[in-house]
A and B are shown apart, each in its own frame.
Chain A
Amino acid sequence: MKLTLRVWRQKNADADGAMSTYEVDGISADMSFLEMLDTLNEELILKGEDPVAFDHDCREGICGACSLVINGDAHGPERTTTCQLHMRSFEDGDTIDIEPWRASAFPVVKDLVVDRSAFDRIIQAGGYITAPTGAAPEAHATPVPKPDADFAFEHAECIGCGACVAACPNGAAMLFTSAKINHLNVLPQGAPERETRVLDMVGQMDEEGFGGCTLTGECATACPKGIPLVSITSMNKEWLRATRTSGKR
C-alpha cells in the first residue's frame, strides 16, 4: 500500500505545531497502525530528520499508552486501540490525518505525545481502596453478588487511554472518571470510601480543567473498551447520593 500521511508535528510544549505531509510506500495490510508509523520513522531517521514522536507500550491493546486521533476518530475507524488497528482498515492511496488528543488538560509534549498525568491525579484523589496490605485475602471471604461483580468488571476494563476526552467536544473526562468510580463503588471493598471517592474524584476532575458533560455520547462511541455512556449516569447518581449523605457524618 502507498499512503499519504498528514501528521501533527510540534517540537515541544511551547512551540507552534502544524500538519506535515509524508508519503509512505510498501505498507502491508497486515501491519498495525503503529508499525506503519515505525516504517515512516525509519525512513525519517535514515534521511536525518526528526522521527514522529508517539506514545506506545504493550501494543496488545491493554496498557492504554497509545493514543492518536486518526481521520478525526480517537483510535481510528475501528473500535479498538490504535496499536490493535491494522492497515487493512485503510485503502491503497488513502490520505490519513494523524493528530494528538486535544484537550487543555492533556497538553501536547511533542508531536503526537500528550501529557495524561491529569488522569493519574484523578486516580490519586480516590481511585483506590484503603486496605491493609499483606498476603492476598481468601477470595470468598467477602461475597460479591454476580451482577455487582459484572458491573465492577465492565468498568474495570477502562485502560485510561483518554480516548473519551479526545472524542468529547467539551474535552470532558466524565467517562474515565465514572468508570473508575463505578468500578470500586459497587464493591464491598470500595464501600467505606464510597462518598469521599466520588466527591474527591469529581472535584479533581474539575480542577484539572476538563469540560462538563453534554451527553453527546462521543466518549462511549470512541472507547476501545466499550465503557457505556450510562456509566456517567451511575456516577451522577453516586455524586448526588454522596452530596446528600456526606454532610451527615
Chain B
Amino acid sequence: MTRTMWDSSVGKKTVMAVSGLIMLAYLVVHMLGNLKIFFGSDEFNDYAHWLRTLGEPFLHYEWALWIIRVVLVAAVVAHATSAYQLSRRDIRARPTKYVHKKPRASYATRTMRWGGIILGLFIVWHILDLTTGTVHPDGFQTGHPYQNVIDTFSTWYGNVIYIVAMLALGLHVRHGFWSAAQTLGVGSRARDRALKVTANVLALVLTVGFVSVPVAVMTGVVS
C-alpha cells in the first residue's frame, strides 16, 4: 500500500501546494520590491544592494540571498517534478477522449499546465537576463539593476516575454492559490468565497504590480 507523501497522488498535490505557496510568498515580496523603481535609480539600486547585505552582520555578505535562492530552486524543482508526475498520471487515467466535446472548466483551470511551462521558461530567461546578464541586451552592468531593467524593457521582445509571462502568472495564481487551500484541507463551504476572492486579488495585484514596470519604461515614466 502506498503510504508515504511522495507515493500518493494526494501527497504529491501537497508538495505542489506547499512549494507553490513558498513561491507565491516570494513573488509578493519581489513585486513590492520592484515598485521601488518608481522612486528613481538611487533608491532602486540601494535597495538591490541592501538585498545582498540582508542579515548582516549575523550572516555573511549575500548569504541571505543565497539561502533564498536555494529555497526557491528547491520549491521550483519540487513543484515542477510533482506537476510532471501528476500530469502523466492524469493523462494515463483518461486515454480516450469523448467524441462529443464540451468546453470545460474556467480558462485559468484549463491553462494550469501550459501556464506552468511558460512560467518555467520565463524564469530561465529572466535569470539569464537580469541576474547573470547572459542574454541581456546592450551590455549588462553588475551593480546597476536600474539601468539593466530599462535596457530590457527598451526591447520589444523583452516587453512581450515579460508581459505574457505575467499574465500567465495571474491565471496560474488565480486557480493555484485556491487549489492549494483545498489540497491542504483548509477550504470549507463557509470559507470558499473568501479564498476565491483572495486568489483573485493576489492574481490581480501581482500581475498589475509586475506589469507596471515595463509599462512605465515604455511610456517613459521610468527612464
Residues of A near any B CB (own CB < 8 A): 6, 8, 19, 69, 71-73, 97, 99, 102-105, 168-172, 199-200, 202-207, 209-218, 228-230, 232-241, 243, 246
Chain B residue nearest to A166 in the complex (CB): B98
User: Does the CB pair B94–A72 fall under 8 Å?
Assistant: no
Q: Report B-chain residues with C-beta under 8 Å of the C-beta of A211.
A: 9, 89-94
Taking the closest CB of chain B, its distance from the CB of A220, in whole angstroms, is: 12
Q: Does B131 contact A (CB under 8 A)?
A: no
Interface-located stretch among B29-37, B49-57, B182-190 = B182-190
Q: Report A-chain residues with C-beta under 8 Å of the C-beta of B8.
A: 202-203, 206, 239
Per-position 1/0 for B67-104, Cβ under 8 A of A: 00000000000000000001001111111111111101
Q: Report B-chain residues with C-beta under 8 Å of the C-beta of A213.
A: 9-10, 13, 183
User: Does the CB pair B1–A200 fall under 8 Å?
Assistant: yes
Taking the closest CB of chain A, its distance from the CB of B78, in whole angstroms, is: 16
Q: Report B-chain residues with C-beta under 8 Å of the C-beta of A243.
A: 3, 5, 11
Q: Report B-chain residues with C-beta under 8 Å of the C-beta of A97.
A: 99-100
Give the contact-size bracket for chain B: 35 or more
The listed residue with most B CB atoms (<10 A of its CB), out of A212, A234, A246, is A212
Q: Report B-chain residues with C-beta under 8 Å of the C-beta of A240.
A: 14, 184-185
Chain B residue nearest to A8 in the complex (CB): B99
Extra A-B contacts (17), CB below 8 Å, given A212-B9, A212-B89: A71-B100, A97-B100, A102-B96, A103-B94, A105-B93, A199-B3, A205-B9, A210-B93, A212-B12, A213-B9, A215-B182, A233-B187, A233-B188, A236-B182, A236-B183, A236-B185, A237-B184
Q: Does B219 contact A (CB under 8 A)?
A: no
Q: Report B-chain residues with C-beta under 8 Å of the C-beta of A241.
A: 185
Taking the closest CB of chain A, its distance from the CB of B115, in whole angstroms, is: 12
Q: Report A-chain residues with C-beta under 8 Å of the C-beta of B188.
A: 230, 233
User: Does the CB pair A239–B109 fall under 8 Å?
Assistant: no
